[in-house]
Amino acid sequence: MVKVINEFLDGVTELQAPMFGDDRGVFSETWNAKSMSAVGLDLDFVQDNQSLSVPTGTVRGLHLQLAPHAQGKLVRCIAGAIYDVAVDVRPGSATFGQHAGVRLDPETGNQLWVPPGFAHGFCTLEPNTVVAYKVTEFYAPEQDRSILWNDPEIGIEWPVADGEAVLSDKDAAAPPLSEVDLGG
C-alpha cells in the first residue's frame, strides 16, 4: 500500500510505494488506483512521459499548462537522481509563488504528486538521469507556459549554479513568474 511521506503547500504530496527486494533486485508497484485512492488521490491519467538527461545539472522547467488543460503530474526518477520542484501558480492562492522541493531517486522509490495549478521542474543530480511521469491531461501547446527556472521572486535553492545549469533554449528564455500570463 502506498504511503504519504510528506505533504506540501496545498496538495503537493510525496509518496512512497512499498519495495520488495531479494538477491535478484527490487520490485515495486509504482501505480495502483486503489492504493492512491486510499490516500485521497483519485486520479485519471491520460499520458505517460519519460525524459533522459545526460549531463548532471540539467534543469527542465518550470513548466505548466493552464486550464482547461491544466495537468497534474505524478513524477518519479527511475535512474540517477533529481531535485524535483513544484511551484504554486494558482492566481489568488494563499501560497501563490511558494515552492516545495524533494530529492527523487530509484533507491528511495519516492514519487511527487504535482497537482494542476502548479508549475513543475527538476534538476538532475547525476549523469544519465531518467524521469518518468504520468499526467492527467494531454499536451495542449496553446495552454503551455514556462517560468524562469531561477526566478529570484520564487527563490528556489537549486543544486546547480546559474552559469552551470544545462537548459533548453525555451527554458533559458522563460520569463519570471510576474510576467507570465496565467489566465486568471
Cell (9 digits) for 42: 483519485
Among 63, 83, 99, 120, the one annotated catalytic: 63
Q: Are the C-beta atoms of 110 and 6 separated by less than 8 Å?
A: no
63 assigned to active site:
yes
Coil vs helix vs strand at 148: coil
Among 83, 99, 120, 133, the one annotated catalytic: 133
Q: Are the C-beta atoms of 88 and 154 separated by less than 8 Å?
A: no
69 assigned to active site:
no
Q: What are phi and psi of 99, to 5 degrees?
A: -135, 165
| Burial zone of 78 (CB within 10 Å; 0-12 exposed, 13-18 middle, 19+ buried) | middle
Nearest Cα to Cα of residue 139 among 36, 68, 69, 39? 69
Q: Are the C-beta atoms of 19 and 109 separated by less than 8 Å?
A: yes
Nearest Cα to Cα of residue 13 among 87, 100, 90? 100
Cell (9 digits) for 170: 525555451
Catalytic residues, which ones?
Answer: 63, 133
